[in-house]
Amino acid sequence: MSSSSSRPENPSALRERFIRRVSADSPFYRLFDHLPDLAFFAKDAQFRFMCASQRFMDRFGIADESGIVGKNDFDLFPVRLAENFRRDDEEVLSNGKAKLNIVELFFTDQGIPDWFVTNKLPLVDAKGRVIGIMGTVQSFEGKKQVLKPYLQIDRALAYIREHFRTGVSITELAQIVHLSPRQLHRKFVETFGASPQAFIMKLRIQAACEALQKEAAQINEVARDLGFCDQSSFTQHFHRHMGMTPLNYLRQFRLRRT
């Protein structure tokens, strides 16, 4: 029988044989080293980094991959950030579903909020069991290069950065970028997977986490400084985002410092 009439090989078997032939010294994720402002990482089920692109390691001054293998987020990031990352990782591991366009917020030494966009997907073994997480990280500034249809919201983000503590009117925000409130909502959801209101609240809660980590922090003062109408409202929103009350967060953080 001629080769042209033979049965084609099963695509899954063909791919598996090819993957097995790829050397460990030639990982696919090295491609990310050549993509602007985009980093790659992978973790095992114990949340330990197993591999990472050079751009990811550069953030920590790590020159060789052996320097990051076995470490976890708490070894590399401030506690508050590591807590957020761990919570997302646990969700991906438990349900096996990807979490895309996660907007991670953090603050510079000057107290200015900055953000980056993370995608996390489950890693599965040959039997379909979730054995880890792989993901990409990109700063919003970098992601803007691939978000040209949504750049109208860039001005909205700049306004939010300046006014989130004192309150941001969605109607006013829409007027600034010359969109209707409905159009603004749609573009935020398309870009960040969250409404403008949810995006702003997440920023306020992250700012609260920063404030509660300071010496002699008082919950009522933090609530007032971040524009919550009262401490009860602050506690409700904080618990919804962080999974604990501000008081428990404050106690937990101070316990770690002792």
Instruction: State the pLDDT at residue 92.
Output: 96
Q: Report the candidate in 216, 205, 203 with the shortest Cα–Cα distance to residue 243.
A: 205
Instruction: State the pLDDT at residue 58.
Output: 85
Find out whether 203 and 231 touch, Cβ atoms under 8 Å.
Answer: no
SS3 letters across the chain: CCHHHCCCCCHHHHHHHHHHHCCCCCCHHHHHHHCCCEEEEEEECCCCEEEECHHHHHCCCCCCHHHCCCCCHHHHCCHHHHHHHHHHHHHHHHHCCCEEEEEEEEECCCCCEEEEEEEEEEEECCCCCEEEEEEEEEEHHHHHHHCHHHCCHHHHHHHHHHHCCCCCCHHHHHHHCCCCHHHHHHHHHHHHCCCHHHHHHHHHHHHHHHHHCCCCCCHHHHHHHCCCCCHHHHHHHHHHHHCCCHHHHHHHHHHHHC
Neighbouring-strand partners of residue 99: 120
pLDDT 10s digit of each residue in the chain, 258 long? 444 556 677 887 887 787 778 777 778 888 888 876 788 999 999 999 999 999 889 878 898 899 999 999 998 887 777 888 999 999 999 999 999 888 776 655 455 566 788 999 999 988 889 999 999 988 766 665 555 545 667 788 888 888 888 878 899 999 988 899 999 998 888 777 789 999 899 889 888 988 888 878 899 999 999 989 889 999 999 998 888 899 988 887 766 655
What is the sign of the dihedral through the CA atoms of 19, 23, 29 and 30? negative
For 204, residues 6+ apart whose C-beta sits below 8 A from its C-beta are 164, 165, 226, 227, 228, 237
Find out whether 81 and 60 touch, Cβ atoms under 8 Å.
Answer: no
Instruction: State the pLDDT at residue 182.
Output: 93
Instruction: State the pLDDT at residue 220.
Output: 93
- How far apart CA 208 and CA 195 sit, in angstroms, is 20
Find out whether 254 and 243 touch, Cβ atoms under 8 Å.
Answer: no
Q: Report the candidate in 118, 120, 116 with the shortest Cα–Cα distance to residue 97.
A: 120
Instruction: State the pLDDT at residue 236.
Output: 94
**Structural domains of the chain ordered from first start:** 3-142 (3.30.450.20), 147-257 (1.10.10.60)
Q: pTM for this structure?
A: 0.60
CA 170 to chain centre: 24
Instruction: State the pLDDT at residue 142.
Output: 60
Q: pLDDT tens digits for 29-57?
A: 888 888 767 889 999 999 999 999 998 89
Find out whether 151 and 139 touch, Cβ atoms under 8 Å.
Answer: no
- How far apart CA 124 and CA 146 sit, in angstroms, is 29
